[in-house]
Chains A and B, each alone.
Chain A
Amino acid sequence: MKTRPGIGARRRWWGLVASPLLLSTVASFVLLFAALVAVAQALANAECVRRRAAQACARLAADMVAMQQLSGPAAEPARIQVAGMQVTVAWQGTDWRVETRGADGDEFAFLCARLAGAAPEVLGSRAAVVESDVLDRVLGARHIHRCELPRVDEHALASAVPADVTPTVRRDQGVALLQWAAGTDGDDYVINRRPKCGFNVTGDLLVVPGHLWVEPGECQLEIELTRDLVIVVRGNLYVGRSIAVRGPGRLLFATVPGPQARAFADRDGNGRWSGGDVLRGEGEFTGPIEGGGNVYLGLNWSRSTLDLGAALVVGGELHLMTDARVSGPLIVPHGITATTPGARVVAAGDWAFDPDRERVPGFQTRGGPRPGRLREVGTIPAPLPEQPLYLPQPAR
């Protein structure tokens, strides 16, 4: 009798499965494979955490040695043993290089700048106000004394990049007339109208020798920053639309009253000193009619809410024509005047400086020299061996 092909194949498979040795081999393989996968996962997990721990410990040791060696008037290269880890501090170009070599063979390298001193402490907070009656108008703000306000460093400003030579900022004689009937007495500068721009500034400090305008517009102004930038405005700052900062850099606006200019609360919102306005400071009103050091968030034709993706150090009065949100630290030395009733400002506190270990250009420092924040760098190849300028030639 002939067996049907389907039944024959099934019998062959049954023969394979029915073998106890084969069955146990397959079962053993599956069991061991599953166990090995579990072990491999555990080891990979452990290695990942070990690596992160080694990095954190190396950073800690490097920070410790940097603080000990680079805090003080004289900083010198050093080689120190910390818990089985060798930490080397050496000068490299413009920064200090701190290397760690762990007992496990892990190597990490960090760079840090040497700071002349700490930045103003108040720049590490979300918001700070001097006048107690303003305290409840900025949620989360600190109440500080006037002597704690950040002071600009005139020596640094004197050597900073002037806005006249920056292509992103241009002088505009008519921009003020679009807003105020009488314009302004001082010089007016405008950040370019393009919705996206980058500041190609050689330094990290830009000084505007007049008023700075960010014109109103439908879309926000996007600024590309590869590093931190401080813009010091020797006049008033007029912001008509939202500003967003892209890239790793942070932006800080600081206003300083120009020579002889006075700050005042522009109660009627006409952009000039007039009856009913309140002078900030002592004496009588002098100087340009628009004053100096004032900040206007929102202008005519601005949108309902203005988002300022920067820090703001106000030198005079803060004026609100719209609701505004400030991402970085907000420092208000005088009052807040809402030229549009009900306009509010929110200090979001999205970021702040680390005043003890970060440099904020353009401001006076406090305390002694110290290392800046460590920034980890990839493995940097060893310096090339010195090469003679001229090939040695046999003497004639």
Chain B
Amino acid sequence: MKVHAHPMGELMLAALLLLASIGGGLWLRHEATAVNAATETRRQELACLVGLETRAGGAVPTRFPDLGAFGSHYVGHELVWTIAPTGAYLTIRPQR
């Protein structure tokens, strides 16, 4: 069987394409990892918040979730445990 040598330009182009796709793929995977990390943080804070919502006995919680994890508009706000005659509840307040 006769084998033809490939032109140098075609080889260069193929290598370039492969490198670009590897670079792009790695960058996309890096972005996906970053998104997953942020999601995981938000999920943990959400689990804490849901745990607080199902409060029992009116005991003061030991940990409050970071509201900033739920969106930029919550930055600078905090959760406060408010005791009222009608029962304890959570309040969102600007941080002092």
Q: Any chain B CB within 8 A of the CB of A388?
A: no
| A39 with B74, Cβ < 8 A, contacts A34-B25, A64-B91, A83-B92 known | no
Q: Are B39 and A31 in contact (CB under 8 A)?
A: no
Contact B36 A20 (CB under 8 A): no
- The yes or no answer to A281 lying at the interface (CB within 8 A) is no
B36 neighbours in A (Cβ, 8 Å): 42, 45-46
CB pair A31 B86 closer than 8 Å: no
**Contact between A61 and B92, CB atoms less than 8 A apart:** yes
For window 346-384 of A, CB contacts with B under 8 Å fall at 356-357, 367-368, 370
Give A83's nearest chain B residue, CB to CB: B77
A118-B87 in contact given A34-B25, A39-B28, A46-B38 (Cβ < 8 Å): yes
The residues of B that contact A43 with a CB separation of less than 8 Å are 35
A323, chain B: closest CB distance, angstroms: 29
For B70-93 the 0/1 string (1 means CB < 8 A from A) is 110110010100101111011110
Q: Which of A47-55, A133-141, A186-194, A219-227 contacts B (4 or more CB under 8 A)?
A: A47-55
Cβ–Cβ contact A103 & B73, under 8 A: yes
Q: Which of A39, A46, A83, A118 has the most CB of B within 10 A?
A: A83
Knowing A60-B49, A367-B86, the reply to whether A82 touches B92 (Cβ < 8 A) is yes
Query: Residue A71 contacts which of B35, B39, B67, B86 (CB distance < 8 angstroms)?
Result: B86
Q: How many residues of A contact B (CB 8 A)?
A: 49
Stretch at the interface among A21-29, A89-97, A197-205, A327-335: A21-29
Chain B count of residues within 8 A CB distance of the other chain: 49
| Partner of B14 from A24, A39, A60 at Cβ < 8 Å | A24
Closest to B26 in A: A35
Most chain B CB within 10 A, of A25, A41, A60, A82, is at A60
Bound CA span A59–B89, Å: 12
| B residues less than 8 Å from A82 (CB atoms) | 92
Q: A17 interface residue, CB < 8 Å from B? A: no
A32 touches B74 (CB 8 A): no
Q: A49-B39, A64-B91 are in contact. Are A28 and B28 (CB under 8 A)?
A: no
Indicate whether A36 reaches chain B with its CB closer than 8 angstroms. Answer: yes
> What per-residue 1/0 map shows which CB atoms of B48-69 lie under 8 Å from chain A?
0110010000000000000101
B32 near A67 with CB under 8 A, answer no
Alpha-carbon gap, A380 to B15, bound state (A):
58
Q: List, in ascending order, chain B residues with CB within 8 A of A103's CB.
A: 71, 73
- Inter-chain contact A59/B18, CB cutoff 8 Å: no
| CB nearest to B39 among chain A residues | A46
Least Cβ distance of A327 to chain B in Å? Answer: 18
Smallest CB gap from B38: residue in A: A46
Asked if A63 is an interface residue, CB under 8 A from chain B, the answer is yes
Is A78 located at the chain interface by the 8 A CB criterion?
A: no
Q: What chain B residues lie within 8 Å of A23 (beta carbons)?
A: 14
Q: Are B70 and A57 in contact (CB under 8 A)?
A: yes
What chain A residues lie within 8 Å of B17 (beta carbons)? 21, 24-25, 28
Residue numbers in A under 8 Å from B14 (CB-CB): 20-21, 23-25
For the complex, give the distance between the alpha carbons of A357 and B86 in Å: 8
The distance from the CB of A66 to the nearest CB of chain B, in whole angstroms, is 9
Q: Chain A residues near B35 (CB, 8 Å)?
A: 39, 42-43, 45-46
Extra contacts, 8 of them, besides A31-B25, A67-B84 (Cβ < 8 A), are A28-B17, A38-B28, A39-B31, A45-B36, A46-B38, A56-B49, A67-B89, A368-B86
The 9 A-B pairs at the shortest CB distance, nearest first, are namely A28-B21, A84-B73, A35-B28, A356-B87, A24-B14, A20-B14, A370-B86, A35-B25, A42-B35
> Can you report 21 residue pairs joining A to B where beta carbons are below 8 Å apart?
A19-B10, A20-B6, A20-B11, A28-B20, A31-B25, A34-B25, A38-B32, A39-B29, A45-B35, A45-B36, A49-B46, A50-B71, A52-B46, A53-B69, A56-B53, A60-B92, A67-B84, A67-B86, A103-B71, A104-B73, A118-B86
